[in-house]
A and B are shown apart, each in its own frame.
Chain A
Amino acid sequence: MTEVKLPPLAEGVDKASVSYWHHSVGDNVKEGEDLVELVTDKATFNMPSPASGVLKEITVNEGEEAKVGQVLAKIG
């Protein structure tokens, strides 16, 4: 099981909002393809999936905020 964590985006930026999940729970995802869209005060990022597998769980939903290091999803 791979935990997808919110990576550091810039110094002093300790949180981001999840604006869009490119996949739903149960989908097969491939390492490197867009998984989740993140929004900080300054910019919008597409974060690629860190692993291939089934998206087992989404722990931060669209519109919610997460802190750097927080688990956003689990891939197994």
Chain B
Amino acid sequence: MRNFLVRRLLLIVPMIVAISLIIFILLTLQGDPFHQLLMNPHVRPEDVQILMHNWNWDKPLPIRYFNWLKEFVVSTFAPRAGNGWGFSLLAPGTNARALILQKLPLTLALSGGSILLSIIIAVPIGIFSALHQYGFGDNVGTFFAFFGMSMPSFWFGIMLIIIFGLKLHWFPISGMHSDMLPAGGQLVDFYAAPWLARLVNRAWYMALPVSVLSLLGVGGWMRYTRSSMLEVVRQDYVRTARAKGAPESVVIRKHALRNALIPIITLVGLTLPGIVGGAMITEQVFALDGMGRLTLQAVLGNDMFVAMAILMIDSLLVLFGSLLADILYAVADPRVRYS
């Protein structure tokens, strides 16, 4: 296992170098932010020259690339106030790392919450569907799974906003939290309120976007669980468990489910990039200021260093996510041994 881990981690290094080269070339192809700054009448050309010099943009492409990669590695492993994955064009005075760290909590709550919720909802429905294959419950579950999988998130989000926000007034339609919260009989600023009130308020605001993302996720997880469970309940060892006199609940929970969850557990590792990457469309619909929105703004606004930093993080998470999936697989299944 240790040899396997070391080998995989070493393999990640050349891969990330190749990925970074592709990211750098693709994003610098669409023009660099310095020339955009030159067109800004409020910025003096001399300052742009200094900035270009500081970021080595007056040197040939390989040196630019190398310096950017060095900056990325240094500010990842030795973060200081002065560095941080490059400057931001759209948010002057700040850097890519500060921007990303600022958007990350919301995205973690949104995507992490919806993935967790979809798994919690989907796995029991998947098990039920498998145990009652082609029965009424299975058909209803399967219908909703496909309904969720084929529903466009922007349309479903807008429908939820109309029904639960505008008509019923149950949930807020956009934003991340209220400005003022009631505390001790009076309204206080959100950040001055007790943490529990803040948490409840945030959960209330998150309810609709998390519902949208969960509905999209439930279908997939439910179908995975169902097919995995269907395969397992026909196995000989499930019959053996019945033959030794185990009650049906033990047969299903202990003998079938444990085996059926192995592929599901490994899939969890692969959701890692999705948790950080954010949900561009849903964040846009609900006016949430998370990673998805930042990515969109950075790419469209030619905010090169921010966009490159986000793509680098996403790529790293894909690589580490599949490594995590392999590790989880070995943990869940004793037959799997890496050497």
A binds B: no
Interface residues of B (CB under 8 A from A): none
Interface residues of A (CB under 8 A from B): none
